[in-house]
Amino acid sequence: MAKIAVYPGTFDPVTFGHIDVIERASRLFDKVFVAVAPSGEKGTLFSIEERLDMVVRASARFKNVKVESFNGLVVKYARKKGARVMVRGIRMISDFEYEFQMALTNRKMARDIETVFLMPNESFSYLSSKLIKEVARLGADVSTFVPADVKNKLKEKIVHEKTS
């Protein structure tokens, strides 16, 4: 039976850390759905279309990876896709606690879906979309953190924020 996995996230924007996890997942499972979540309570810098577009480009070279947006509970989305696995990257203790809590909540709702945690490359262990947006707003060059097209999108967005 083909092993299908879902890798959910906000990807606001996608970073080299996310891409590293996507690559690892693509090697572990037969099919991987990268599931881009709608903006949560706090809002996102990029629209769902922009985020989808950036993840699509970043994942183009992984043949068994498909990028989609989803609504509602991620475990319901996973079931619809026939996925029995949820993938999460884990870098730090604080990640770990939140991820654990989320995974246990998901498990209560869907006993048949298993969360597996992967470690990104240690050189990406400090990367966070939040921090990248912060330093980009302060004028930093973020080309060591995100792909070139994401870097450009970030620059445009931030100029637009400041002039609007």
3-class DSSP state for residue 156?
Answer: helix
78 burial via Cβ count (<10 Å: 0-12, 13-18, 19+): buried
Q: Residue 162 corresponds to which tokens in the numbers above? A: 């400041």
- x-marked contacts with a second copy along 48-87 as a string, rule CB under 8 A: ------------------------xx--x-------xx--
Task: Assess 139 for contact with a second copy (CB under 8 A).
Answer: yes
83 Cβ contact list (under 8 Å, min separation 6) = 4, 5, 6, 33, 113
Please, what is the Cα angle at 17 between 147 and 6, to 5 degrees?
Answer: 105
Q: Residue 63 corresponds to which tokens in the numbers above? A: 């043949």
Q: What is the footprint of a second copy within residues 101-120 (CB under 8 A)?
A: 101-105, 107-109, 114-119
Task: Assess 152 for contact with a second copy (CB under 8 A).
Answer: no
Q: Which is nearer to a second copy, 60 or 92 (CB)?
A: 92
Residues near a second copy (CB under 8 A)? 3, 24, 27-29, 72-73, 76, 84-85, 90, 92-94, 96-98, 100-105, 107-109, 114-119, 122-123, 125-126, 128, 131, 135, 138-141, 144-145
Catalytically active residues, by annotation = 18, 42, 91, 129
